[in-house]
Homo-oligomer: A and B are copies of this chain.
Amino acid sequence: MRDSTPTISDVARLAQVSPGLVSRLLNGDTSLRVRSETEERVRAAAKELDYSPNAVARALRRARSGLIAIGVHDAGNPIYSAITEGAEAAASEAGYALMLADVDALAHDDAAFRRVVAGGAIDGLLLQRAGTESDALIAKIASRTVPTVLLNDRTRGSIGSIAVDDYAAAHVATSHLAELGHRRIALLQVDGPKSRTDRRRRGWEDALAAAGLVPDPALIANGGHTPEDGANGMRTLLAKGGFTAVFVANILSAIGAVSRARDSGRTVPDDLSVVAMHDFGLAAYLSPTLTTVRLPLREMGARAVGMLLEQLDGGAATHEVVSSPAPLLVVRDSTRPVSGSPR
* Residue among B66, B145, B255 making CB contact with A115, cutoff 8 Å: B66
Q: List residues 49-82 of chain A with CB under 8 A from any CB of chain B.
A: 52-60, 65-67, 69, 75-76, 78, 81-82
* Residue among B82, B101, B120, B226 making CB contact with A54, cutoff 8 Å: B120
* Residue among B59, B92, B111, B112 making CB contact with A56, cutoff 8 Å: B59
Q: Which of A83-91, A161-169, A216-224 lies at the binding interface?
A: A83-91
Q: How far is the CB of A36 from chain B (nearest CB, A)?
A: 23
Q: Which of A131-139, A206-214, A280-288 lies at the binding interface?
A: A280-288
**Which residues of the partner chain B approach A105 to less than 8 Å between Cβ atoms?**
89, 92
Q: Within 8 Å of chain B (Cβ to Cβ): is A269?
A: no
Contact A76 B280 (CB under 8 A): yes
**Which residues of the partner chain B approach A111 to less than 8 Å between Cβ atoms?**
95
* Residue among B120, B227, B286 making CB contact with A287, cutoff 8 Å: B286
Q: Within 8 Å of chain B (Cβ to Cβ): is A231?
A: yes
Q: Within 8 Å of chain B (Cβ to Cβ): is A118?
A: yes
Q: Within 8 Å of chain B (Cβ to Cβ): is A238?
A: no
In the bound complex, CA of A287 to CA of B231 (Å): 14
In the bound complex, CA of A105 to CA of B259 (Å): 38
**Which residues of the partner chain B approach A262 to less than 8 Å between Cβ atoms?**
287
* Residue among B56, B116, B258 making CB contact with A60, cutoff 8 Å: B56
**Which residues of the partner chain B approach A282 to less than 8 Å between Cβ atoms?**
227, 252, 255, 282
**Which residues of the partner chain B approach A88 to less than 8 Å between Cβ atoms?**
75, 100-102
Q: Within 8 Å of chain B (Cβ to Cβ): is A142?
A: no
Contact B89 A115 (CB under 8 A): no
Binding site for B on A (CB under 8 A): 5, 52-60, 65-67, 69, 75-76, 78, 81-82, 84-85, 88-89, 92, 95, 97-102, 105, 109, 111-112, 114-116, 118-121, 145, 226-227, 231, 252, 255-256, 258-259, 262, 280-282, 284-287
What 12 new A-B contacts, CB under 8 Å, besides A84-B100, A255-B286?
A5-B118, A52-B119, A55-B121, A56-B119, A66-B115, A67-B99, A75-B85, A99-B100, A100-B100, A252-B282, A259-B286, A282-B282
